[in-house]
Amino acid sequence: MSLKAFRGAFLDFIDDPFYVSEAESVRYFADGLLVLEDGKVKALGAYDSLQESYADIPVITYPDMLIMPGLIDTHIHFPQTEMIASYGEQLLEWLSKYTFPTEGKFKDKAYAQEIASFFLDELLKHGTTTALVFAAVYPESVDAFFEEASRRHLRMIAGKVLMDRNAPAFLVDTPETAYTESKQLIQKWHKHDRLLYAITPRFAVTSSDKQLQLAGQLLAEFPDVYMHTHLSENVKEVALVAELFPDSDGYLDVYDRAGLVGDKSVFAHGVQLTDAEFQRLSKARSAIAFCPTSNLFLGSGLFKLKQAKSVEYPVKVGFGTDVGGGTSFSMLQTSSEAYKVTQLRGQKLSAFQALFLATLGGAKALSLEETLGNFDPGKEADFIVVNPRATPLMARRNPTPIADSLEALADQMFATMILGDDRAIHATYIMGELAHGQSGVV
Ligand SMILES: [Zn+2]
């Protein structure tokens, strides 16, 4: 049994601030103590109330810092790391011009390993401790990713991309190879260490109906694996799906008919969803990955967050960076762009709502809320140390290091998400062990 503790200010969520008040959903200790046992949370409370019970264990103190659960990215592509910020196209042309040629390189396992390693280091540097990740079509790319994630002892979800049409020949599989290769990868990696598998059709445009049907069959065989795909991102894409599947009753229905819409299904984007599709996702308990930097960068549109988080038909929502369609690995920058998307819709997104989506909300979207997402006892201790005064500008905007009320904290965290990026992530811990630290952190 190995006990240790961290002292500092702590912020996490115990409920959803879209549906209950901040007083009921936000947990905050200006001077708190987090006690860990074997990499899991044993206790969190005010320092004064816990300190006596744990007087003899080592304590790491972070004065003037805020400790939060690790950030969760519910949609990202590791093979697109090196093509981030590619100019001038919308979704379908952007895929042909930049994405497909880049993903073709990932048949080379050594190359995939090098990029996976860089990618995971970037995630940790930005405070992201769990992500739902597209690999490439090649099983080697999945092996490379999971090997690197396993080496870092990370809780990651990923899968081989399925695509059997409307893509270059070097990048397509078949319905049968997609099925058998995915099955082998599930048997090899799902629940190995902290890793989990997602059956990953790229999107309806690049999968034949037969491939989607077989993917649905595989999901039925392994009901505790995930299903991860794209949905209703861009107007031209939605029109193309209607052309390719003339018998379907809309985009989501294409997946639904294949048995791919369930409570472990995560759909990226959903920018163009109809009311009926929102209702269907709510009923199926599926999740949407809201990817604001990507939706703005590719000119896809403004996600209807308020509709997704409605009282009548609530849909689980997490944030996705969608690198390389997205423009940053940072969940703070993603929160900042999400705020601007809601502003363009005449709505608001509070700092607490955004940080909920980036932590416990993301965990719920990935059905991991029993495992991580806040500091409840028994949860895996993946967490970050945030410096709200990381740059001269942030220090000027946040003159008081530790907020003394929820109102002051809301203001401080709003400025931190609007101005912050990887510089604000002072340290990242995985299962209670330091995995990334800015210079000076030991
Ligand atoms: Zn994507």
Q: Which of 314, 329, 344 is the endpoint of a domain?
A: 329
Give me ligand 1 centre to Cα 326, in Å. Answer: 8
- Is the residue at 261 inside a domain? yes
Do the beta carbons of residue 240 and residue 205 sit within 8 Å? yes
CA of 119 to the centre of ligand 1 (A): 15
Under the banding of pLDDT at 50, 70 and 90, the label for residue 229 is very high
Same domain, 289 and 312: yes
For ligand 1, the distance from its centroid to the CA atom of residue 76, given in whole angstroms, is: 6
Task: Looking at the structure, tell me whether residues 58 and 14 fall in a common domain.
Answer: yes
Using one digit for the tens of pLDDT, what is the confidence trace for 198-210?
999 999 999 999 9
Euclidean distance between CA atoms 336 and 351, whole angstroms: 9
Same structural domain for residues 130 and 241? yes
- The answer on 283 and 140 residing in a single domain is yes
Q: Is the pLDDT of residue 342 over 70?
A: yes
Distance from residue 403's CA to the centre of ligand 1 (Å)? 37
Per the CB < 8 A criterion, the answer to whether 245 and 269 are in contact is no
Q: Over the range 373-402, which residues count as b (16 or more CB within 10 Å of their CB) and which as e?
A: bbbbeebbbbbbbbbbbbeeebeebbeeeb
Ligand 1 centre to CA of 420 (Å) is: 23
Structural domain includes residue 365: no
CA 133 / ligand 1 centre spacing (Å): 9
292 Cα: distance to centroid of ligand 1 (angstroms): 11
Residue 230 Cα to ligand 1 midpoint, Å, equals: 6
Distance 109 CA to ligand 1 centre (A): 22
Q: Terminus-to-terminus CA distance in the chain, angstroms? A: 23
Q: How far apart are the CA of 351 and the centre of ligand 1, in A?
A: 25
Q: What's the rounded mean pLDDT across residues 35-45?
A: 98
* Residues 289 and 405 occupy one common structural domain: no
Q: Answer whether residue 366 is part of any domain.
A: no
Contacts of 270 (CB under 8 A, 6+ apart): 231, 232, 233, 277, 281, 288, 290, 303, 308
| Statement to judge: residues 38 and 144 lie in one domain | no
Same domain assignment for residues 143 and 235: yes
Q: What was the pLDDT predicted at 243?
A: 98
Which residues 6+ apart lie within 8 Å of 88 measured at CB?
none
Identify any residues that bridge with 44 across adjacent strands, giving them in sequence order: 34
Q: CATH number for the domain including 415?
A: 2.30.40.10
439 — pLDDT class (breaks 50, 70, 90): confident
The domain of 7 spans 3-69+375-437
Is 62:10 a contact under the CB 8 Å cutoff? no
Identify the band that residue 227 occupies on the pLDDT scale cut at 50, 70 and 90.
very high
* Count, residues in the chain: 442
Question: 339: closest CA among 234, 414, 395?
Answer: 414
368 falls within a domain: no
Question: Residue 24 above 90 pLDDT?
Answer: yes
Percent of the chain with pLDDT over 90: 98
When divided into structural domains, the chain yields a total of 2
Give the whole-angstrom CA distance, residue 242 versus residue 248: 7
pLDDT value, residue 134: 98
Q: Is residue 349 part of a domain?
A: no
Residue 341 Cα, ligand 1 centroid: separation in angstroms?
Answer: 18
At 335, give phi and psi (nearest 5°).
Answer: -65, -40
Q: In what order do the strands lie in the sheet with 425-430?
A: 40-46, 26-37, 3-13, 59-69, 383-386, 425-430, 433-437
Is 341 inside a domain boundary? no
* 442 — pLDDT class (breaks 50, 70, 90): low
Residue 388 CA to ligand 1 centre (angstroms): 30
- Does residue 88 share a domain with residue 42? no
Distance 378 CA to ligand 1 centre (A): 32
Query: Quick one: pLDDT at residue 291?
Result: 98
72-86 pLDDT per residue, tens? 999 999 999 999 999
Ligand 1 centroid distance, CA of 140 (Å): 20
Return phi, psi of residue 7, to 5°: -115, 135
How many whole angstroms from 77 Cα to the centroid of ligand 1?
6
Interval between CA 88 and ligand 1 midpoint (Å): 17
Q: Using the mean position of ligand 1's atoms as its centre, give its distance from the Cα of residue 288 in Å.
A: 12
Q: What confidence tens digit (pLDDT) does each residue in 403-416 have?
A: 999 999 999 999 99
What CATH number is attached to the domain comprising 92? 3.20.20.140
**Is residue 168 one of the residues assigned to a domain?**
yes
Query: For residue 441, is pLDDT > 90?
Result: no
Ligand 1 centroid distance, CA of 283 (Å)? 24
Distance 235 CA to ligand 1 centre (A): 16
CA of 357 to the centre of ligand 1 (A): 18
Kindly give the distance from the C-alpha atom of residue 325 to the centroid of ligand 1, in angstroms, as a whole number: 7
CA 344 to chain centre: 23
Do 140 and 46 fall into the same domain?
no
Ligand 1 mean position to 268 CA, how many Å? 6
Domain-ending residue, one of 275, 307, 329? 329
Q: Does 160 lie in the same domain as 187?
A: yes
pLDDT in tens, 233-261: 999 999 999 999 999 999 999 999 999 99
- What's the gap in Å between 319 CA and the centre of ligand 1? 12
What is the rounded distance in angstroms from the CA atom of residue 382 to the CA atom of residue 363? 12
Which one of 303, 329, 355 terminates a domain?
329
Same domain, 223 and 87: yes
Q: How far is the CA of 400 from the centre of ligand 1 (A)?
A: 38
| Residue-level pLDDT at 135 | 98
pLDDT tens digits, one per residue of 359-372: 999 999 999 999 99
For the chain, the three-class secondary structure string (H helix, E strand, C coil) is CCEEEEEEEEEEECCCCCCCCHHHHEEEEEEEEEEEECCEEEEEEEHHHHCCCCCCCCEEEEEEEEEEECEEEEEEEHHHHHHCCCCCCCHHHHHHHHHHHHHHHHHCHHHHHHHHHHHHHHHHHCCEEEEEEECCCCHHHHHHHHHHHHHCCCCCEEECEECCCCCCHHHCCCHHHHHHHHHHHHHHHCCCCCCEEEEEECCHHHCCHHHHHHHHHHHHHCCCCEEEEEECCCHHHHHHHHHHCCCCCCHHHHHHHCCCCCCCEEEEECCCCCHHHHHHHHHHCCEEEECHHHHHHCCCCCCCHHHHCCCCCCCEEEECCCCCCCCCCCHHHHHHHHHHHHHHCCCCCCHHHHHHHHCHHHHHHCCCCCCCCCCCCCCECCEEEECCCCCHHHHHHCCCCCCCCHHHHHHHHHHHHHHCCHHHEEEEEECCEEEEECCCCC
317, part of any domain: yes
193 backbone φψ class: left, alpha, beta (φ>0; ψ -120 to 50): left
- Residues 156, 169, single domain; the answer is yes
